[in-house]
Structure 1
């Protein structure tokens, strides 16, 4: 059996399914657009509210200035009576007026106290004022203006600003309702729109799974709409076609060389073997025997290459059946127990309860026999080899082959599937570097996973067999 000394570091390269709709690019763009639209609406309606309030405040300020100008023409002796008479008119939105002496004492009108916020500069300001009339007495938000009269008294006129506040409230309510009636249906519609691209991406992911496993005959689905996804899928399909063609040519050349050279090499071996039999008792016989051994090595490599090529065709998976993996492992243990015993090694078999699996028992025997043979070969005399089968937390079968050999350096584990790979520490051992390539081809054919690690004393090869595979 051939062994590649490169460890099998299985990396998680599986494609993660797009199950969360909010992770899709379309959904994110919709959310970003919705957020920008909401911010724009808030800014726009804020500007509308501010302009409306400014305009209405200007109208009120003009009304206040007009009233001050009208009262300013009243004779000082009639000012108190005029203010008192005008302030008695209790009409909603009417003017509020107050006349105060130089010390701020109330003289007339329905503004009870002189607002401290107002300066005698004829500039209108928004403030809270104490208002009183025959029918009500309240503190309200008003726009007020203070004017100094020639006799030292101060005239204050004001008008409630509830209209401005009401318009601001209406705008805010309109904003909330508008956003609710726009953003929420927009997001729901965006989710529905995003489901189409997400469905196509999932279809592409499903098509990529067999491609990732090495089946280059699969192509990505094309919807026929001619959009960006179709263009990308078409480009990937064209690339896959070219890769498949190039790999097919390389594989064909390799297989043809291995197949065509095997026949003449077999004939040469036969002739050399006959000569070796004739010169068996002479010194030339040893040289001929060495030549036969070298040809056997070359023929074994050709057979291994053709075996890998056969397994990578993936046609044998159609003949899979329900198999008992425990029976396969017992046969492997029974086959290699005498060899381990001859080397003084402990060969332990631990079988747990395993789920039924679909596969080819002969191929799985070949794979585990290769791994166990390698473990025995690289474990020193008196060491131990363990073949353990168990069920993991997910219900999948797991088989570990552990030895007490030299182990495999971590920096070599990426080269596990490389054909003819042999590490520096194992080149002295017999082998051709195709053993793990055959094992990995069998494992991939079954849809299982192969990994390698290290314990304190050696290497641990693990094969995980999903129950649904």
Structure 2
């Protein structure tokens, strides 16, 4: 964090120095351009005097201007072809050489109480024919004074900027460190086992608060998953104890008894049946866990729902005929969505299996695929509806039957493990949909609503 503050300080200081340096350069250049413009204007005026009134008129004009040069700080000298002074307020022609445009910067010496003071002048040389040379310039003490004033101001500006950036960097670092310390403290408490702890979120809504919110959402999801795992473990321990005990008891009875081969075969057959039921329970729990964790979301692919429901119908048609139940299909074509085909197939199969399981002979089970609304273009969801004419589920129990291992009293005598509807609900949530259980009068209407791609 200290390095971040130092980087912030360096960047801020560099930007301030760059800005103030530009201001200094612009100000001094502006003064220089103003002086050069004044000099050019004076040269033009004196050249006109020479052209109109000759050398005498030029000397008179130079003397008049030199007499008032104290206020304007003008510098003048007219010299002959040997650069000997003819008129002006300079004692002699400067030794410095001019540039290609005739501009020259030279040293000036003024008499004062201590002997002399040194300054600099900026001037331009203008040739009046082959015999005379004119130098017009200005004392640049004013420019130096302005530059010195600007430099002083800029130095103070830099000092203030550095001070402000230091204070800002320290305050920013302390605020950021406080938030990070809060995150670290909460993380240590969570690692110590307190999964209910959450990172405090401030009122500023900055990036740190956004990160804290995302971490809290992640912790909520982790807590829900752990609670689900704990619940599953409890349910497994409770609901699988009975079939495993029956399996062991049957095998133990066959082992210690004096049974004939047929009795041994019956015991083995019973053991295999109990083992199959146990495996089905474990597979159902695994599917539910995968759906709730979104483990298969990366495997989603475009699906044609009509073909999927036709496959389910073909699978259960023999069972329906065996039970004397009519299995109807009313399927809308060309309904596409993106999802996990295996889990959706298992979900529809569970709904169909339940409908057949609780339906009497000479009744009807219907598989329907439709859009959510009559306007296909406006529909955002597809609905898979499985209806039967069985005893149905009381409205007060429709939420509870979606829980794992929950079975109604009326269904205790039928095969099953109480996980079928739990799996359907988990698959619906995985695909961003819902499962609704409604009254079919008589029977049950199960509506699996899924968002379209």
Q: TM-score, normalised by structure 2?
A: 0.46
Query: What TM-score results when the alignment is normalised by the length of structure 1?
Result: 0.44
Q: Which of structures 1 and 2 has the bigger CA Rg? A: 2
By relative contact order (CA 8 Å, sep 6+), the higher-ranking structure is 1
